[in-house]
Amino acid sequence: MPIEVLLIEDNADTRDVLKLMLEVEGAQVETAESGEEGVQAARRRAPDVLLCDIGLPDIDGMEVVRRLRSGHPGAMRCIALTGYGQAEDVRQAIEAGFDAHLTKPINLDQLMALLSADSSIDSARSIRVN
């Protein structure tokens, strides 16, 4: 059964490329352009994995994951996709509820490793891509 992914990304080009790359790898991908739209989609569909940009135009990715984790901790794997890659950015993302933090541009091999069924959350926490 393919992994279900919700990708929240406001940049259309990035969103389209990531969606295509994930679908080529066999994932079923739904997309959202804003934090609010993404929260609604996640609640409606409950994907296996949330891939979420931090810098969104309405509510940021930190607030997205806080809302989704509220009352449902650990229900889905949440991975931050962001241009913010300093140690403090990683710490804040993990504290907000993300399981992993990937810095753009995203390395597809590392992203796919996080999405694989045998990837552990504990090892994912420290992954940073520069």
Q: Which amino acid is it at 68?
A: L
pLDDT band at 129 (very low <50, low <70, confident <90, very high): very low
The pLDDT tens digits of the residues spanning 68-123 come to 998 676 679 999 999 988 999 999 999 999 999 999 999 888 898 888 855 443 33
Q: In the predicted model, what is the mean pLDDT of residues 53-58?
A: 95
Other beta carbons within 10 Å of 109: 8
Look at residue 125 and tell me whether its pLDDT is greater than 50. no
Domain boundaries, the chain: 4-124
pTM of the complete model: 0.87
The pLDDT tens digits of the residues spanning 61-73 come to 999 999 999 867 6
Closest CA to 3 of 121, 128, 113: 113
End-to-end CA distance of the chain: 31
The reported pLDDT for the residue numbered 73 is 62
Other beta carbons within 10 Å of 127: 19
Question: 4-124: CATH homologous superfamily?
Answer: Response regulator (3.40.50.2300)
3-state secondary structure 62-118: HHHHHHHHCCCCCCCEEEEEECCCCHHHHHHHHHHCCCEEEECCCCHHHHHHHHCCC
